[in-house]
Each structure stands twice: as structure tokens, then as C-alpha cells.
Amino acid sequence: MANKILLLNGPNLNMLGKRDSQVYGDITLNNVEEACKKLAKKNGLELESKQTNYEGQLVELIHTARETSDAIIINPGAYSHTSIAIFDALEMFYGPIIEVHISNIHKRESFRHFSYVSQRADSVIVGCGVQGYELAILRLVQIFKNS
């Protein structure tokens, strides 16, 4: 059976491509999700995508993933820098977790330099634009090949 990946995006990422943004580019989240599904399928994986602006909803989606997903790719948005609740939920997930940030958070304001999620993530991809999501899938392809 195909390994299942959950792609999770947090607050404001539904605005991708909808507002003129120098930082986040002009590709919509829907386009990103479709491209990720296609790449996952090409590599024999299944990918489901969710976006929410609510912290508690992210926590619940991570809880559900314990039963339904083998890996998580997550861009927690601003909650990366603030949410112990999301960190705790990710600690309860047993599979690989890849954290993605579209922008290079280390080149930006100092409050973006620390991520709670990075304390649990197996890999962190920053500053590659939306290509970071595809790089995360390719990393998981490698991880599943070796497992």
C-alpha cells in the first residue's frame, strides 16, 4: 500500500498568490497542493492537503494524522514561532516530519528565527520558495525507500 503524506499549511497561507507578495510569490496554495499531489503520485505516494488559520484545528489534524498518515509536511506559518501546543501534538506523531518555510526565516525579523516545530522536525527546508514543498516530498521518497 502507498505511504500517505499529510501536507499541512497554517495561518494566512491560503492567501498565497492572492495578494501581490514580494516574499511569498504569485503561485496559489491550490496550485502548490495540486503540484504536490502530482509529484507524490509519480513517486508512488498518496498526498492529502489541509490548510487552516486556527491553532487548535492544526492540533486536531495532527492527532488524526496519527491514525491516517505515515508522514507530515508542515508549514505552520506564524505558529512555528509561538505554539507549544503544535509542538506537543507533533511529539505524539511517530513518523517523519518535514517543516517547510517558503521564505528564509533566518534572514528576516529576529522573532522568526526560532521555531518550536524545528525542535521536533526531522528536516527543515527554508527559503526555497514554494519549491520547498516539492523538496520535502522528495526527501520523504528517500526516507521511505530506505525504511
Active site residues: 24, 101
CB-wise, 4 or 108, nearer to ligand CA2?
A: 108
Cell output for 8 = 499541512
Stretch that binds ligand CA2, among 52-60, 71-79, 88-96, 137-145 (CB under 6 A): 71-79
By three-state DSSP, how is residue 82 classified? coil
Joined together, the cell numbers standing for residue 20 give 501581490
Question: Restricting to residues 33-62, which ones interact with ligand CA2 according to CB under 6 A?
Answer: none
For residue 92, state whether it binds ligand CA2 (rule: CB under 6 A): no
Q: For ligand CA2, which is the closer residue by CB, 101 or 120? A: 101
Please choose, out of 14-22, 31-39, 40-48, 85-93, the segment that lies near ligand CA2 by the rule CB under 6 A: 14-22
Nearest to 78 by CA among 58, 93, 92: 58
Residues 6+ apart with CB under 8 A from 39: 134, 137, 138
**Which of these segments, 13-21, 58-66, 88-96, 134-142, binds ligand CA2 (CB under 6 A)?**
13-21
Question: Using the 8-state DSSP alphabet, how is residue 44 labeled?
Answer: T
Candidates 19, 22, 145, 146; binder of ligand CA2 (CB under 6 A) is 19
| Residue 63 CB contacts under 8 Å (≥ 6 apart), including other chains | 89, 92
